[in-house]
Amino acid sequence: MMARVSLILLLLALVSALATVSSNHRARNLFTELEREQTRMRGLEVEWGQLQLEQSTWAGHARVEKIARDKLKMKSPAAGQIVSIEAGK
């Protein structure tokens, strides 16, 4: 009887030890993955900053005005050409 209990306990200990090893391994794998994703996140943040800069450059007021005036032949309306409407009327 005693021997059987011991055998079960031994088996349990063995299983638990193997589980520890495997979960440790899994934890490390997951951590590496997290690390990789964080690097990617930082990379994307950098790219976002660069895209913002690019957007600000393309949408710069000077560039927009130049294209509007020279290429699209637009001009600002005289005050008399503006009709002002009020909300709710």
Partner 1 sequence: MKFANSPLLSQRLPAWRARLLLLGLLSGFAALAGWALYLQGFNSGFLQEKGASRYSRVIELSATRGRILDRHGDAQAVSTPVKSIWAIPEDAKLQPAQARALAGLLEMDVRELNRKLSGERDFVFVKRQISPDVADKVAALNLPGIHEQREYRRYYPSAEVTAHVLGFTGAEDVGQEGVELAFESTLAGKPGSRRVIKDRRGQVVEDVESIRAPQEGKDVLLALDSKIQYLAYTHLRQVIAEYKAKAGSMVVLDAKSGEVLALVNLPTYNPNNRVKLAGAQLRNRVLTDTFEPGSTMKPFTIGLALDKGKFRFDTLIQTAPGRLTIGSATIHDAHMSGMLTVAQVIQKSSNIGAAKIALTFQPEQMWSMFDSLGFGSALKLGFPGEVNGRLRPFKNWHPIEQATMAYGHGISVTLMQLAHAYLVFARDGDLVPLSLTKLDSLPPSGKPVFSEQTAHEVRAMLEMVVQPGGTAPKARIDGYRVAGKTGTSHKLEFGAYVNKYVASFVGFAPASDPRLLIAVMVDEPSVGSYYGGDVAAPLFAKVMAASLRALGVPFDAPLNGLQVANQDAPVIREGI
Binding test (CB under 8 A) with partner 1, winner from 2, 71, 73, 80: 80
> Does residue 60 bind partner 1 (CB under 8 A)?
yes
Distance in angstroms (rounded) separating the CA atoms of residues 81 and 89: 20
Q: Give the binding range for partner 1 (CB under 8 A) out of 4-12, 13-21, 55-63, 67-75.
A: 55-63
Distance in angstroms (rounded) separating the CA atoms of residues 50 and 55: 9
Cα distances from 86 to residues 81, 83, 89, in angstroms, run 16, 10, 6
Task: Please list every residue from 27 through 46 that binds partner 1, using CB under 8 A.
Answer: 27-28, 31-32, 35, 45-46
Rounded to 5 degrees, what are φ and ψ at 74?
-95, 160
What are the residues binding partner 1 (CB under 8 A)?
Answer: 27-28, 31-32, 35, 45-46, 49-50, 52-53, 55-57, 59-62, 65, 76, 78-80, 82, 84, 86
